[in-house]
Structure 1
Amino acid sequence: MMEQEARACLARGDLAGAVAAARRLTEVEPNRPEGYFLLGMAAAQAGHAAKAIPLIQAAVARGRQAEHLAQLARLLVLVRREDEAAVAAREALAASPRDPLTLDTIGCVLVRLGDHQGALAPFSAAVEGEPANLEFRYNLAAACGFTGDVARARAQYEAILARDPGNGRVHYALAILSRQAAGDHHVPRLEAALAGATRPDDALRIRYALAKELEDLGDTAGSLRHLTRANEAQKALLGYDFAQDAAIFDAIEALFGAGGARLAGGEAGGEGRRGEGRRGEAPIFVVGMPRTGTTLVDRILSSHPEVEAAGELQAMPLAVRQLAAPHLAGPPSRRVIDPETVAASAAIVPGDLGDAYLARARVHRSHGKPRFTDKLPANFLYVGHILRALPDARVVCLRRHPMDTLWSNYKNLFASQSAYYAYSYDLMDTARYYARFDRLVALWERLWPERVLQLSYEALVRDQEGQTQALLAHCGLEWDAACLSFHENRAAVATPSAAQVRRPMNADGVGKWRAHEAALAPARAWLQAQGIAVA
């Protein structure tokens, strides 16, 4: 009775009632897990994950139930304890749960850990158990798309739209699932959905979907019109000012420029004993502006028999934040990176950072191969930290024509609340960001000329074999012809490039900006004035 009362209170948002009932349950039956679990769920629902975890751990200690393990895994992921989350999620799955919510929760945890293939089974079972739950269907559809099962993903998305025709998230997912063609597109349906949209988030995604499909169909004016409306609204919503990112670039350059004299353990690029970092591991960091070929290069590298793709890891940003926190003058901000954290990171001992990074990355490695890639594009901000912490690591920085880079960033909807991509909703902000990226990469190459390879996307398209040979040599890998057949790599892809990288090398993305040359003219002129070649 008390358990049912606590669950009912949680369902209607009565947290005080849930806590009271759950607490009585722990007092009456202290050896049963349910009271502790429900106390933990009440804390989690109140937004206190750190308080919820020990309560649910107490429940797990009293009877390792799949529901409890799954929720524990979910909370551990939220607080970035991925290694523990992986253990809990897999134990929950091994318990053969039948509850659809528990199955979906396990799938979501596996997705957060990068195991999209492993998430398919629990997501499928969740949909089978509760077919009317549209959130469960969306999660299954997304996992199918990431793993290359486009037909199944499309069927799940269409099933959602049959019940929720205005779902902007689904409309956008369908638009980017494949290239649209005359006679096989969704433009009329999207226009109707936009006309009926009542939530700004739906309107944003529907406009992005329209922009993508119209560009596929050759309607560049219509595509730009929807992009402009969507991006203006999103920039206003975020309250973004380029000064926020400029301050981060300034802090990084201040830390590593002029020899990096403030750094713990020696100078930037130096070989002092305390500055050597963690030797032995040689991860490959694929970095650059988004949408410049990072996914393509990651697929090439992970087609090599000695390399596995670990995904877009937050491991380095989180390790830097964690180790810099004790050296901050005040409390840490909620952002992963800010000028204060960059400045405080001067005190981090490189070897400690290497260990912290590898501990976080370990959970994303599952194939036992000697090398792995970390494909978080924004790691270009952390190259200095990476190469001091991991002296055997290699960095591959993708470079694409500046105007194609600007256009591709502007037209793609990234994680809409992520501070990493807030610049991308304005063409001039994107140009300013590109200029600072260009300047920072030049600093990294000056400091570590043998360890940073700037790889041209256009050169890779023109000379696939020659550039692939140079790429593998830079990474210390023997030649393997499988790297030329990257499109046959069956590993999951959780980026907007999923469809493109399953096709052989092609030049379709080269020069796309020219269709919007007039709109891009002010940004182009500004970049030229900064001395950046944009011909």
Structure 2
Amino acid sequence: MTARAALARGDLDTAERTALAATRDRPEEAEGWFVAGIVAAERGQIGRALPLIEAALARQATAEYHAQHARLLILARRDGEAAAAVRAAMALSGGDARTHDTIGCVLARLGDHEGSIAPFEAAVAAEPNNLSYRYNLAAACGFTGRVEAARDHYEAVLAADPGNARVHYALSILSKQTAAPIPRLEAALAAARTAPDRLRLRYALAKTHEDVGDAAATFAWLSAANDEHRRSLAYDFSSDAALFDAIEAAFDRELPAAAGDADPAPIFVVGMPRTGTTLVDRILSSHAEVGSAGELQAMPLAVKAAAGTRSRQIVDAETMLASLSADPAAIGGAYLARAAHHRPPGKSRFVDKLPANFLYVGHIARALPNARIVCLRRHPMDTVWSNYKNLFAGQSAYYAYSYDLIDTARYYVRFDRLMRLWARRFPGRVLELSYEGLVADQAGQTRALLAHCGLDWDECCLSFHENRAAVATPSAAQVRRPINADAVARWRRYEAQLAPVAEFFVREGIPI
């Protein structure tokens, strides 16, 4: 079909014109509707694309059509419908490599990394030279603990594309590194032409130098990476300060009684990123009654919908203030509906470990009165260092502070102040769990954790490293090992470089 050919060569105008002509001339045929929908999606018009794809499906249900429908539903944050659509795609035999890859990507977005392996493998088997498909398979292998398979696939990509910055970075965080990759990382950086590639390669160099114990080189590469990226973001801490101010203004006063939704299933694990949230998620999800739902956007989206604000950001000061006029029970119900599609089957309880949910403790406490909340607390200097050295989603508003040491320290101060507000306003609702305390007394702190969550003792929680469930965070390698003190007081290796942070904390009254 001419529309398909135009779409394949990136000529969206011709593809759209031809596809829409087909819908007028042959409205009973599915293909014109489908291609018109894909063109709309390529232009970022998801709301327009969905009914076109659905019109195609009404005329002919194929694996490709269902898979693309699922992809668009994910982009529209309609996860439950996306799950149904991807199941429909999987139920149909056949499908080309792109369809298999799309199915794998949707499953990964739904948190089913184990399930994504088979379609990714099918895509690679059909088109072994497609580097994008092989990258997706490698990432899924890494998330599911297939480290050697992941490494082999990443190396296959580099054999064809030696400068692939995404792959170099992924390899660097897959396992502990030796000095061997440093020359090829430096060569790739010298040839890099884009800012995102330079960012990833500098982070890969920093991670590699840290693994081999070269603190000076580690800090130098991180500084180069973060300084350039921060300039591109045009971030100012005042935007985050305004958000904290709005939350405090909304909740630091008496609020009307709220019934909320009584479901006791959720366990929220919150805190600053890189402070042990994944570790606690693994401990809890090793319990017979508990499964991990991963890092859900369900609470931020439920609050945003309830607030009804028109800003493009999910979390901002306006939304936080407006959300207090909404019915807490409605927020709780909306959260549970969104989370339902990510809950592991056969478990009565589930963990939502989005660290940024510490911003929503007030909403959680009112909307889900029987939910349990655990906040990780790590030494402030280690918290700053671990945030600064981690490459978060490059354009995420949640983590824009993390590319500057003092901005990260400022963010910690406001986090600490907000947690003290939650303790005053909702006494007993949040267990503040020390990462260092957990490392020093695993059994004792695990008992306290399970008791707070209303769970009986389960010996398996001490063997969390044997939990084979997927991990899609930078902590994947660490949580597959027994608990250890390797990360405790790691900031001391960089004490001289972090001196401005220590001085800032002293001025702000934060003990270090």
Superposition TM-score, scaled by structure 2 size? 0.99
- Residue aligning to 2:443: 465
Q: CA deviation at 1:391?
A: 0.5
Distance 2:326 2:145 in 1: 41
AA aligned opposite 2:174: L
Instruction: Report the equivalent of 2:198.
Output: 203
1:61 to 48, 54, 58: 58
**Which of 471, 476, 480 is equivalent to 2:458?**
480
Partners of 1:16 and 1:416 in 2: how far apart? 31
Counterpart-to-counterpart distance in 2, 1:410 and 1:97: 46
RMSD: 1.0
* Structure 1 position 282, deviation (Å): 2.9
1:278/1:355 contact within 8 Å kept: yes
1:528 aligned to which of 492, 498, 506: 506
Q: Structure 2, unaligned stretches of length 5 or more? A: none
Separation in 2, partners of 1:201, 1:237: 10
Q: Letter of the 1:522 partner, please give it.
A: P
1:11: how far off? 2.0
| Aligned equivalent of 2:166, options 162, 165, 169 | 169
Residue of structure 2 equivalent to 1:235: 230
> In 1, distance between residues paired with 2:263 and 2:7?
49
Q: Tell me if 1:303 matches 2:286.
A: yes
Q: Does 1:342 align with 2:320?
A: yes
Structure 2 equivalent of residue 269 of structure 1: none
2:301 maps to a residue whose letter is: L
2:277 to 294, 297, 308: 294
Counterpart of 1:163 in structure 2: which amino acid?
A
The answer to whether structure 1 residue 190 and structure 2 residue 185 are counterparts is yes
User: 1:296 and 1:46 mapped to 2: Cα distance?
Assistant: 40
Q: CA deviation at 1:12?
A: 2.6
CA contact (8 A) 2:292 2:344 kept: no
> By how many angstroms is 1:202 displaced?
0.9
Measured after TM superposition, the shift of residue 95 of structure 1 is: 0.8
Q: Within 5 Å, which residues of 2 pair with 1:248-267?
A: 248-259=243-254, 261=255, 266=256
* CA displacement, residues 374-412 of structure 1 (integer Å, 9 cap, x when unaligned): 000000001111111000001100000000000000011
4+ runs of 1 displaced by more than 3 Å? none
Do structure 1's residue 398 and structure 2's residue 385 form an aligned pair? no
Q: In the aligned structure 1, how far is the partner of 2:79 from the partner of 2:507? A: 45
Identity of aligned residues (%): 64
| 8 Å Cα contact 1:97-1:103 kept in structure 2 | no
Structure 1 window deviating more from structure 2 (364-373 vs 397-406): it is 364-373
TM-superposed deviation, 1:34: 1.0
CA contact 1:282–1:390 (8 Å) conserved in 2 = no
Shift of 1:29: 2.5
Per the TM alignment, residue 16 of structure 1 is displaced from its structure 2 partner at its CA by 2.7
Deviation at 1:23, TM superposition (A): 2.1
d(CA) in 1 for partners of 2:301 and 2:225?
A: 31
Match of 1:309, as an amino acid?
Answer: S
Structure 2 matches for 1:260-279, cutoff 5 A? 261=255, 266=256, 272=257, 275-279=258-262
The one-letter code matched in structure 1 to 2:151 is: R
Cα displacement (A) at 1:191: 1.1
Provide the C-alpha distance between the structure 1 equivalents of 2:386 and 2:175, rounded to a whole number of angstroms: 17
Post-superposition CA distance 1:509-528 (Å, at most 9, x none)? 00100010011111111111
The offset of 1:58, in angstroms, is 1.0
Give the match for residue 44 of structure 2: 47
Check conservation: 2:46, 2:72, Cα contact below 8 A: yes
TM-score, normalised relative to structure 1 = 0.94
1:32 matched to 2:25: no
Structure 1 residue ranges without an equivalent (≥5) = 267-271
1:97 CA drift (Å) = 2.9
State the 1:19 CA deviation. 2.1
Report the counterpart of residue 389 of structure 1 in structure 2: 367
Match of residue 386 from structure 2: 408
CA deviation vs aligned residue, 1:298-347 (integer Å, no higher than 9, x gap): 0000000000000000000011111111xx4xxx2221111111111111
| Equivalent in the alignment of 2:217 | 222
Quote the offset at 1:26 in angstroms: 2.0
Equivalent position SS for 1:258: coil
CA deviation after TM superposition for structure 1 residue 451, in Å: 1.4
The answer to whether structure 1 residue 11 and structure 2 residue 8 are counterparts is yes
**How far apart are 1:280 and its partner, in Å?**
2.5
Cross-structure match for 2:432: 454
Corresponding residue for residue 417 of structure 1: 395
CA shift digits 1:483-513 (9 cap, x unpaired): 0000000000000000000000100000100
